[in-house]
Amino acid sequence: MLPILSQLLPFFALIGLGYGAVRSGFFSEAATDALTRFIFWFALTALLFHFSSELSLGEIFDWPLAVAYLLATGAVNVLVLSVARMRGERLGEAAVEAQTAVIGNTGFLGLPLLVALLGREAVGPILMMLTIDLAVFGSLFTILITLSRSGRMSAQLPLRIGQGLVTNPMIVALALGLGWSATGWTVPGPVDRTVSLLSAAATPGALFAIGGSLAARGLDRVGIGGWLSFAKLVLHPGAVALALLAIGRADGFAAQVMIATAALPVAGNVYMLAQHYGVAPYRVSTAILMSTLGSLVTLTATLALTQ
């Protein structure tokens, strides 16, 4: 485990650097927000386009693995939703908790970290899981929030879901990359170099921005935050491992990547969604902070156990 820990530590050191820069006042929260927007809209989308333009749809979507991930993530989602409802939470709060338990920081943390640790072959399974998270569970969250507010399905709901998908820069970057790959053409030299320059900023910038955003988060509803962190760091990868075992694909490189990706901490965009809808943002913030700190241990253990 020590060799794996030594490989992970530089990534978490950059997160710590961002945290320290904001906590000390050297870097403002406004600057962190601006850096996050740059990473999200430019550097990360360039990285996603760069990776997906070199892969075919078949190289990303191994359909038995996709179904296994969908079922495992759906099971954890339903479990956490049910636990919240049994505690007496309203549907909106329960939907936020369920989303917190299954949506990991795949774009900002998982993609650069796992590709650096495991190699470019990890890109396909990671992009598959990212696409399912955005398209399936992102849409499910929108449906549940709508139901919690109006008590019924709106005729405009499919349009809202579609607009959310086509305006998400990560989905657009993936679609454009796969579309370009399908043509068989080589990305023109100046474009490729521009994309490569932007992509190079994604890893250090994203890690620094994660740390900076954590510095602004306080702890609230620590018990619930701990439960959601446990669900994300332990239950989610455990469910993925069981689903892969059930289809006879628990061994091999793709399984290692999928289980490690499922063990990532809670994604920051869950907090942004909770804040946007005004539903339980502080418990999400607590889970992000706790799961990010805990993921150094769980990621190390997960990678060691799946080698």
Q: Are 100 and 73 in contact (CB under 8 A)?
A: no
Integer Cα distance of 197 and 298 in angstroms: 32
> Along the 307 residues of the chain, how does pLDDT read in single tens digits?
677 888 888 899 999 999 999 999 999 989 988 998 999 899 999 999 999 998 888 889 999 999 999 999 999 999 999 999 999 999 999 999 999 999 999 988 999 899 988 998 999 999 999 999 999 999 999 889 888 876 666 667 777 777 777 788 888 999 999 999 888 888 888 989 999 999 999 989 999 998 888 887 766 678 999 999 999 999 999 999 999 999 999 888 999 999 999 999 999 889 888 887 888 888 898 999 999 999 999 999 999 888 7
* Alpha carbon of residue 227 to chain centroid: 18
Query: Rounded to two decimals, what is the model's pTM?
Result: 0.90
Question: Structural domains in the chain?
Answer: 2-305 (1.20.1530.20)
Q: What residues contact 98, with CB distance under 8 A and at least 6 apart?
A: 77, 78, 80, 81, 84, 141, 144
In three-state secondary structure terms, 80 is helix
Integer Cα distance of 3 and 96 in angstroms: 36
Integer Cα distance of 279 and 94 in angstroms: 10
Q: Which two tokens stand for residue 219?
A: 């702890």
Integer Cα distance of 259 and 303 in angstroms: 8
Number of neighbouring beta carbons within 10 Å of residue 175: 17
